[in-house]
Amino acid sequence: MPSSLLIPNAVPELPLIQRAQQHAGSIAFQTPEKSTTYQALLDQSAQFASALLQGAADLQEARVALLAAAGPTYVAAQWGIWRAGAIKVPICLTATEPEWEYALTDSGASVVMAEGTSVKKIAPLCQRLGLRLINLDDVRAPLQPLPALTPARRAMILYTSGTTSKPKGVVTTHAHITAQIESLIQAWAWQSTDRIPLFLPMHHIHGIINVTSCALWAGAVIEPFTKFDQPAILERVKARAYTLFMAVPTIYVKLIQALESAEPAERQAIVAGFAAMRLMVSGSAALPASVHEQWTALTGQKLLERYGMTEIGMAISNPLHGERRPGAVGQPLPGVEIRLKAETGEIITAEHTPGEIQVRGPNVFREYWGKPEATAESFDQDGWYRTGDMAVRETGYYRIMGRLSVDIIKSGGYKLSALEIEAALLDHPDIAECAVIGMPDDTWGEAVSAAVVTRPGTDLTLAALREWSKTRLSVYKVPQRLAVVKELPRNAMGKVTKPAVRSLFNS
């Protein structure tokens, strides 16, 4: 008897693959040049899985890094990694080599799968680290039997910045991912008739789960873009190509600016395209109430704001049918438990009383990779995950008030570690000390802002700092504001007081 048949609760194929098989003849991805069916994704994923296995029966949770743009190749590679029994480690296309190296070494990846120009860029690092590099554009492998997997198997390590100077790897299982998808399918009524553009980063849960995995679970059509190509996307909106639209607040700000500056006839055509959509979602950062109201005034669409994070997927959402309240993130999603806990330790039941959001449910991640202490610290008793975000409940709706940690910055849909950015800036030859914070910004939500003490005889400008930083940090981590000061505010213990740093940018 094959060993895979002895695994308790093993299934021939993962739920997401089974769903794809049901939609086999339908189109999954559509571009101006090509249509890709669900069957084509399944066939290519089997090729990728076989290439990874190389005759082995099961990769047994080996880590495989994925460096690819949004599109059918990315999804086929993701499915191939999973179908081979490995753990997917998505890495950022625009990251610097030190950032890639950290993710690869911290996860213990043994293989990197890459496509296009990324192959040449990461090849020297793979050679130096002794990693196998698979060019996704050239895979030709004889098909072989694929392992049966249990839902409890680890599926993905997604790196997110925390309160330490280095990102933590968030480990989710196949069961977690399925729960996250099924919750959103129910809450937002995904259908096979849906069409959605995909321009969000594919090393971020918003792009991986909310758009791609939900769409493919439902049998919908995805139109992928390598970036937010505003002219091309607006042309498709005018053509009424989409039923759903998901973006971060920064993009809605840019769209408002584009609509306000457009000629009347052009604006009317674009607005009609947006108005025809059945749902538009904003997430990954707080949506200012003013932006929510501007968007409704321009398009008639009331944006649906939700709340989630890498560790939990989506947890709270304004309703598909019902009031979508500006400034609020809504109510718990199906299958998700939410509570607020006071700093004193009591569970808050009264409305209008702030507390930390804690989350429990099948959507909540398993662990931080290789960090048992950080994992233990992030959970309260009985499996409640401590988000570090403060909120109040107002007539049944949750409103986010801020974060317990001042070292987390939410900018342009990304959750960034101020400490990680500080560590990089301290390598600058002109910087003696620095403190990084997020300052309120209408476009980005929070702008990465660096207060620095320079070395004697130096003259540092924001333009020079940004240029230097781009070789060491992803572009969304590069400081957008700079304050050069004689000294940083510190408390009696010598620790920089981040709240006082804010005043350096307001003066």
Q: Are residues 331 and 225 in the same domain?
A: yes
| 276 and 414 housed in the same domain | no
In DSSP terms, which residues pair with 22 in a beta bridge?
none
Asked if 465 contacts 450 with a C-beta cutoff of 8 angstroms, the reply is: yes
Instruction: Tell me what pLDDT residue 163 has.
Output: 44
Residue at 334 is within a domain: yes
**13-35 residues labelled b (16+ CB within 10 A) or e (exposed):** bbbbbebbeebeeebbbbeeeee
Task: Please give the model's pTM, rounded to 2 decimal places.
Answer: 0.85
CB 244 within 8 A of CB 225: no
| Residue 112, beta-bridge partner list | 65, 133
Residue 167 within a domain: no
> What 3-state class would DSSP assign to 335?
coil
Q: Is residue 252 located within the same domain as residue 271?
A: yes
pLDDT (0 to 100) of residue 131: 98
How many Å apart are CA 198 and CA 109, to the nearest integer?
27
Separation of alpha carbons 135 and 203, rounded Å? 19
- Token code pair at residue 244: 């759903």
Question: How do residues 424-459 score in pLDDT, each as one tens digit?
Answer: 898 899 998 899 999 999 889 999 999 999 999 999
Residue 162 placed within a domain: no
- 347 within domain boundaries: yes
Calpha distance 349→463 (Å, rounded): 49
Q: Count CA within 13 A, CB hemisphere, residue 237.
A: 26
| Shared domain check, 346 and 438 | no
Of 129, 150, 171, the position where a domain reaches its end is 150
Q: How many CB atoms lie within 10 A of CB 430?
A: 16
Q: What is the dihedral of CA 461, 462, 468, 474, to 10 degrees?
A: 170
Answer yes or no: is 155 within a domain. no
Residue type, 189: A
377 plus 494 within the same structural domain: no
Which residues does the chain have with pLDDT short of 50?
A: 1-8, 162-164
Gap between the Cα atoms of 32 and 30, Å rounded: 7
Domain boundaries, position 54: 3-150
- Residue 470: other Cβ atoms inside 10 A: 14
Cβ burial 344-374 (10 Å sphere, 16+ → b, else e): eeeebeeeeeebbbbbbbbbbbbbbbebeee
Is the domain of 343 the same as that of 377? yes
Does any domain span residue 160?
no
Q: Which of 150, 172, 202 lies at the terminal end of a domain, its last residue?
A: 150
141 and 108 inside one domain: yes
**Of the residues 126, 150, 174, the one at which a domain ends:** 150
Q: Are 415 and 339 found together in one domain?
A: no
Same-domain status, 99 and 216: no
pLDDT at 6: 37
The enclosing domain of 434 has a CATH number of 3.30.300.30
Total number of domains constituting the chain: 3
Residue 168 lies in a domain: no
The number of C-alpha atoms within 13 Å of 49 and in the hemisphere containing its C-beta is 29
Q: How far apart are CA 344 and CA 352, in angstroms?
A: 17
Angle formed by the axes of helices 72-83 and 15-22, nearest 10°? 130
- Both 345 and 474 in a single domain? no
pLDDT at 1: 29
Is there a domain that residue 219 lies in?
yes
Amino acid 493: pLDDT: 52
pLDDT in tens, 109-164: 999 999 999 999 999 999 999 999 999 999 998 999 999 999 999 999 999 864 44
| 378 and 469 part of one domain | no
Residues 118 and 187 in one domain: no
Domain of 136, CATH number, reads 3.40.50.12780
| Identity at 295, one-letter amino acid code | W
